[in-house]
A and B are shown apart, each in its own frame.
Chain A
Amino acid sequence: MSLYPRNFQLHVPTSLREAIEALEALGEDAKPLAGGQSLIPMMKLRIAAPSALVYLGPLKGELSYVRDGGDYVEIGALTTHSEVAESPLLRRWNPLVSEAAAHIGDTQVRNMGTIGGSLAHADPSADYPAAMAALGAEIVVAGKSGTRTVPAGEFFVDAYTTSLRPGELVAAVRVPKLRGRYGAAYGKVARIATDFAIVGVAVHVSVDERGHVDNMGIGLTGVGPTPHRPRDVEEVALGERLGPELAERIAAAVSRSVDPPTDLRATSEYRRRALRALTERALRRIYLDIARAQ
Chain B
Amino acid sequence: MVAIRVRVNGAHYEHDVEPRLLLAHYLRDYIGLRSVRIGCDTTNCGACTVLLDGKAVKSCTVFAFMADNAEVVTLEGISEGGLHPLQRALAEEHGLQCGYCTSGMVMTLYYYLNKARRVPSEDEVRRAIEGNLCRCTGYVGVVRAALKAAREMYG
What is the interface of chain A, defined by CB distance below 8 A to chain B?
2-10, 12, 33, 36-37, 40-41, 43-45, 53, 55, 57, 82, 105-109, 111-112, 193-194
Contacts and interface: CB of A to CB of B under 8 A. Distances in A.
Nearest to B42: A41
Contact of B131 (A4, A6, A45, A106): A106
A109 B66 contact: no
A107 B41 contact: no
Given A10-B2, A41-B42, A112 B19 contact: no
B19 A107 contact: no
Contact of A194 (B22, B52, B131): B131
Given A8-B20, A44-B42, A194-B44, A107 B62 contact: no
Pairs A-B, 9 closest by C-beta atoms: A106-B131, A10-B19, A111-B55, A108-B58, A3-B41, A5-B20, A193-B130, A108-B131, A106-B130
Interface of B: 2, 18-20, 22, 25, 38, 41-44, 46, 49, 52, 55-58, 61-63, 65-66, 108, 111-112, 128, 130-132
A44 B43 CA distance: 10
A10 B65 contact: yes
A53 B66 CA distance: 12
Contacts of B42: 3, 41, 44-45
A112 to B, nearest CB: 5
A108 B46 CA distance: 8
Contact of A109 (B19, B25, B43): B43
Given A40-B61, A109-B58, A194-B44, A7 B20 contact: yes
B108 to A, nearest CB: 6
B130 A2 contact: no
A48 to B, nearest CB: 12
A55 to B, nearest CB: 7
Given A9-B19, A45-B42, A107 B112 contact: yes
B27 to A, nearest CB: 14
Contacts of A37: 43, 61
Given A40-B61, A108-B56, 16 more contacts: A6-B20, A9-B19, A12-B65, A36-B63, A41-B42, A44-B42, A53-B19, A107-B108, A107-B111, A108-B49, A109-B43, A109-B131, A111-B55, A111-B56, A112-B57, A194-B44
Nearest to A40: B61
Contacts of B55: 82, 111-112
A201 B56 CA distance: 28
Contacts of A6: 20
A41 B58 CA distance: 11
B57 A108 contact: yes
A45 B40 CA distance: 12
Contacts of B131: 105-109, 194
Contact of B61 (A7, A55, A112, A194): A112
A57 B18 contact: no
Nearest to B20: A5
Contact of A41 (B43, B46, B56, B57): B43
Given A36-B66, A108-B108, A8 B19 contact: yes
Nearest to A53: B19
B20 A112 contact: no
A2 B41 contact: yes
A107 B128 contact: yes
B44 A7 contact: no
Nearest to B41: A3
Contacts of A193: 130
A117 to B, nearest CB: 13
A83 to B, nearest CB: 10
B11 to A, nearest CB: 22
17 contacts: A2-B25, A2-B38, A4-B22, A7-B19, A9-B19, A36-B61, A36-B62, A40-B22, A40-B43, A44-B42, A106-B131, A107-B56, A108-B56, A109-B131, A112-B52, A112-B57, A194-B130
